[in-house]
Chain A
């Protein structure tokens, strides 16, 4: 296990706990692996495995109707799967923080990841999501805290993009 990754995952987990997040939905990404383990081991959090990321957007609407705060963990490619469903968050003023690990940016190996990686921030913003971006590990916890707070305090979707510069680009051994 990557010790640095484990350390910042712990900080993200503590941020979710401080904000009393009850439902954590996700399509797994290597960058989120430690955080997913921490959430799964937490008896107060319900970890929901999705078949596609847009399910997590709809889940968040139901969770909020029922009084639960939720967060969506996904890779940037999943943002493309969410586009139409994001409409509900704006129209219904439902808060949803999204922690998004990037593909297709700094040092990307796989050309097929680049188009969606380039479009991620613009697509989110076009659909009414506030977007911040962390490329350095020391920024991650405060930006995550701010993303969760602005989502729940102002009732809207907010995303934190976690750059490959921070995560380490996947290299397929090359």
Chain B
């Protein structure tokens, strides 16, 4: 089942990566892009301060940016897929201009559109998302391929010295669906209540 990556090691598996990144998450605020990253985040543990997306393709990084600007003392992690990231490439430029230190973007890159029949994405043809992020002004941007790089990535996400970008190469095997709640208003309300307290329902 395990694939072998280009450097000869065993390919990273998406669920293990997400579970490791979300371990002991502390104050971390999380946005999970639509499709498999949302299922991965849910499998790691549904949480009121995780906002899983069922739509808005191409918008995950911008949601993270709005959140990071609103909550400058909290670290924000966007976990999304390569297809979702490609649809919102311009948002990397927008983050590069805004430069919030508390924002991290992790792209789980399996080089395919997994939800629609494993069609290849642009990254399968060599489009380098990490280089794009670096060129847009992210202070750190790397391609992650090995297990031993995940713990340092988690530490960097919590260090708040971003904006940080990581393109994590993962195997393209499909995992069982683990679905988060679907009601967007409920997801929003529980997030705001957990973050802001009772004022979440009275402030306007």
Contact = CB atoms under 8 A, between A and B. Distances in A.
B55 A50 contact: no
B195 A62 contact: no
A59 B93 contact: no
Interface stretch (B12-20, B38-46, B66-74, B119-127): B66-74
A56 to B, nearest CB: 8
A88 B51 CA distance: 12
Nearest to A56: B62
Contacts of B188: 61, 64-65, 92-94
Interface string A24-62: 000000000000000000000010111110111111111
Interface residues of A, number: 35
Contacts, number: 125
Among A60, A62, A92: residue with most chain B CB under 10 A: A62
Interface stretch (A66-74, A101-109, A111-119, A127-135): A66-74
Nearest to B185: A93
Given A52-B90, A65-B51, A59 B71 contact: no
B185 A59 contact: no
A66 B63 CA distance: 10
Interface of A: 22-23, 46, 48-52, 54-68, 70, 84-85, 87-88, 91-95, 152-153
Interface of B: 29, 31, 51, 54-71, 88, 90-91, 93-94, 97-98, 184-185, 187-188, 191-192, 195-196, 199-200, 203-204
